[in-house]
Structure 1
Amino acid sequence: MNQLLTPASFPERFESVEHLEDFMSMPSQALVDDLRRLEGDIIILGVAGKMGVTLARMAKRAAPDKRVVGVARFSDPHEKQKLEEWGVETITCDLLDRAAVDKLPKLPNVIFMAGRKFGTEGDQEMTWAMNALVPAIVAEAFNGSRIVAFSTIHIYPGVSVLHRGSLEADPPMARPGEYANSVVGRERIFRHFSKLHGTPGRIIRLSYSIDMRYGALQEIANWVLKDEEIDLTTGHVNVIWQGDANSQILRCLNHCESPSAPINITGPEVVSVYDIAMQFGRIFGKTPRFRGMEQDTIVVNGDLSADLFGYPMVPLRRMVHWVADWALNEKPLIGKPSKFEVHSGKF
């Protein structure tokens, strides 16, 4: 049996990318129990992104007797090799190719992670194709499965942090920039086909997944370490450890509804960017530099996910210290900023 995630398993620091990925994919007892109750095998579409590789590995570790299949274009063959070494089957497929999607194994549980955010400006057509057309192809092809599909918090308006953030009942709305609009399209498409075929599903509004190599905490740490000014216009964020996020997303397969219903996946706190920067400053022996004034921003209420799954296992303070150690030791970064501070909606 794989080691289970408990506070006793938390390391003081991560020695390498391999150590980090091993820990991030460690399942909890709650996930093991949920996947044991789940009927059928799991297919993950768009598996080769920042979260997908560890999510697929976690699923296989939690349910070693289940078939776990990862689908992507696999532009980086190393990601495909890693998955196969961990026991995850891989299929190379362009999800814009309807005929290729039709040939995929129609497993009863789908995690849909495909989408496009960065590079939208200047190639809006491809963004809409990935964020609205691909969901239509997948929703038709897998109409007999459960579908847990990634969305974005950028479909929410800016709100006062005093009100604890946007709720799932708040309707997705058009915002500046093509990205958010195209993801409203993604949500509408999945809900349309869920209603049409009775396909049970969940729509994941995630905010913000934390890995040592990317994410809001890593970006703030990097700005403090390099003495760069930190824009406080986006003065607050939600964060969640990537392992906790992956676990909750997989557990959503047991909480699908028809029509497909949204759920905020995030940590319990609304986190102050100023406070986090000051924490990093104390660790680094630096005085953070700031500009701008805090405004209403996109923060979400995580009460529903906490009610279903309990609070995340990895607390904020632990994440801060892990990120600080990773940054001080100049360990590898993915190089794909979350751009949580961007207010224009242009990515």
Structure 2
Amino acid sequence: MPPTTLEELEERLSRPTPAVVDMMRSLPGDIAILGAAGKMGPSLARMAKRASDEAGTTRRVIAVSRFREAGSLEAFQKHGIETLSVDLLDGNAVAHLPQAPNVVFMAGMKFGSTGQEPMTWAMNAWLPGLVCERYKRSRIAAFSTGNVYGLVPVDHGGSREEDAVKPTGEYAMSCLGRERIFQHFSLQRGTPVSLIRLNYACDLRYGVMVDVAQKVWRGEPVDVCMGYFNTVWQGDANALSLLSLGKAASPAWIVNLTGNATLSVREVAHKFGELFGKPVAIEGTEAPDALLSNPYRSFVELGMPFVRDEELMEWVASWVSKGGESLGKPTHYESRDGRF
């Protein structure tokens, strides 16, 4: 059954898989989650805490962020997650963060990066150096993005981790800068690192499917110029990202994290039209290339996602049609020039 309330949604997003519980049983030490107050951080932090409790281990899960939104700090604390309100661009503050053998790096800037390029580079490429200095003896799982690959032909099967990167736009270039900094320190200091090239996690409050569903529900045209995409249920993305801590290595281990299908924007829009009983307006023509990733390595090394694309689509349709909460943060999946 799909989640029908915010409480059910947050419980489902943070429900640990058996593999995560097993890893928390064997993984020594505390976990610090840097940049934890974004879209994905709260449920990932809660999953880490729930998995640790279910494994019977005693560890601190520490969420670090500026916690600018009202109530965001308390949302962590009520689940037993420690919080530190820190501006991560303050080098002195980063240097005095508590020691943790395990670090999940989620800080970064995407939306609003166009027009704020200096800040984008500071967040995405300079901050990782500060973190690597502070946590040079820790195991680090760092979030990146499939945008570093650039557009590939739709029939290519999606970019693989060994493919050459061709970032388009300063956001993607700065994210490649982030990766290079982590790779440098991993090589120079022996810091175990996993780099997670995530390609569109989907909560029911945001994600490409949500963007398309909302347009169909409101009777707005759906742009299909970026005609194809990958996505993965955020609960699965949380679990697989935490599992990547166990794969962190020197040199850094890179993995694509997304679902197992190349989805057509046009077909997804028409499916939502059927589910809503509404007509669908299409705008534009599909380009022959798109931002697509091949997730084979993650399936082999970390495991398969539990939630199928068809099931996720039904959940999104139910949520949108019942007026479920939206974060109001579109993915801008339509962008083909790398401007966000």
Give TM-score, length-normalised by structure 2.
0.96
Deviation at 1:14, TM superposition (A): 2.2
Answering whether residue 232 of structure 2 is matched by residue 243 of structure 1, we say no
Classify the secondary structure of the residue corresponding to 1:151: strand
Deviations 1:171-219 (A, max 9, x none): 33331x2111111111111111111101010111111101110000100
Which letter maps to 2:184?
A: H
Deviation at 1:77, TM superposition (A): 4.0
Deviation at 1:44, TM superposition (A): 0.2
In the TM superposition, 1:82-161 aligns within 5 A as 82-161=75-154
> Which deviates more, 243-252 or 279-288?
279-288
Answering whether residue 166 of structure 2 is matched by residue 173 of structure 1, we say yes
Q: Does the CA contact (< 8 Å) of 1:156 and 1:172 recur in 2?
A: yes
* 1:201 corresponds to: 193
Deviation at 1:249, TM superposition (A): 0.3
Q: What is the CA–CA distance in structure 2 between the aligned matches of 1:32 and 1:161, rounded to whole Å?
A: 37
Answering whether residue 327 of structure 2 is matched by residue 338 of structure 1, we say no
* 2:18 corresponds to: 29
In the TM superposition, 1:194-233 aligns within 5 A as 194-233=186-225
In the TM superposition, 1:296-335 aligns within 5 A as 296-335=289-328
Deviations 1:30-55 (A, max 9, x none): 11011212121111000000000000
Match among 64, 69, 74 for residue 62 of structure 2: 69
Q: Does the CA contact (< 8 Å) of 1:35 and 1:251 recur in 2?
A: no
Q: What is the CA–CA distance in structure 1 between the aligned matches of 2:244 and 2:115, rounded to whole Å?
A: 35
Classify the secondary structure of the residue corresponding to 1:14: coil
Deviation at 1:13, TM superposition (A): 2.9
Q: Does the CA contact (< 8 Å) of 2:147 and 2:167 recur in 1?
A: no
Answering whether residue 48 of structure 2 is matched by residue 55 of structure 1, we say no
Q: What is the CA–CA distance in structure 2 between the aligned matches of 1:58 and 1:309, rounded to whole Å?
A: 16
* 1:5 corresponds to: none
Match among 273, 285, 297 for residue 265 of structure 2: 273
Deviations 1:281-335 (A, max 9, x none): 1011122111222120110000000001221011111111110011111111001
Q: Does the CA contact (< 8 Å) of 1:154 and 1:298 recur in 2?
A: yes
Q: What is the CA–CA distance in structure 2 between the aligned matches of 1:93 and 1:38, rounded to whole Å?
A: 26
Provide closer, same or farther for how the CA distance between residues 272 and 174 of structure 1 changes in structure 2, counting only shifts above 3 A: closer
Classify the secondary structure of the residue corresponding to 2:171: helix
Give TM-score, length-normalised by structure 1.
0.94
Gaps of 5+ in 1: 1-11
Q: What is the CA–CA distance in structure 1 between the aligned matches of 2:39 and 2:190, rounded to whole Å?
A: 31
Answering whether residue 179 of structure 2 is matched by residue 187 of structure 1, we say yes
Deviation at 1:78, TM superposition (A): 1.0
Deviation at 1:164, TM superposition (A): 1.0
Classify the secondary structure of the residue corresponding to 2:290: coil
Q: What is the CA–CA distance in structure 2 between the aligned matches of 1:98 and 1:212, rounded to whole Å?
A: 35
Deviation at 1:121, TM superposition (A): 1.6
In the TM superposition, 1:7-26 aligns within 5 A as 12-26=1-15
Classify the secondary structure of the residue corresponding to 2:152: coil
Q: Does the CA contact (< 8 Å) of 1:173 and 1:184 recur in 2?
A: no
Q: What is the CA–CA distance in structure 1 between the aligned matches of 2:137 and 2:2, rounded to whole Å?
A: 43
* 1:4 corresponds to: none
Q: What is the CA–CA distance in structure 2 between the aligned matches of 1:280 and 1:121, rounded to whole Å?
A: 31
Gaps of 5+ in 2: none
Q: What is the CA–CA distance in structure 1 between the aligned matches of 2:152 and 2:167, rounded to whole Å?
A: 15
Q: Does the CA contact (< 8 Å) of 2:240 and 2:303 recur in 1?
A: no
CA RMSD after TM alignment: 1.0
Q: What is the CA–CA distance in structure 2 between the aligned matches of 1:184 and 1:197, rounded to whole Å?
A: 20
Classify the secondary structure of the residue corresponding to 1:96: coil
Q: Does the CA contact (< 8 Å) of 2:244 and 2:302 recur in 1?
A: no
Percent identity of equivalent pairs: 45
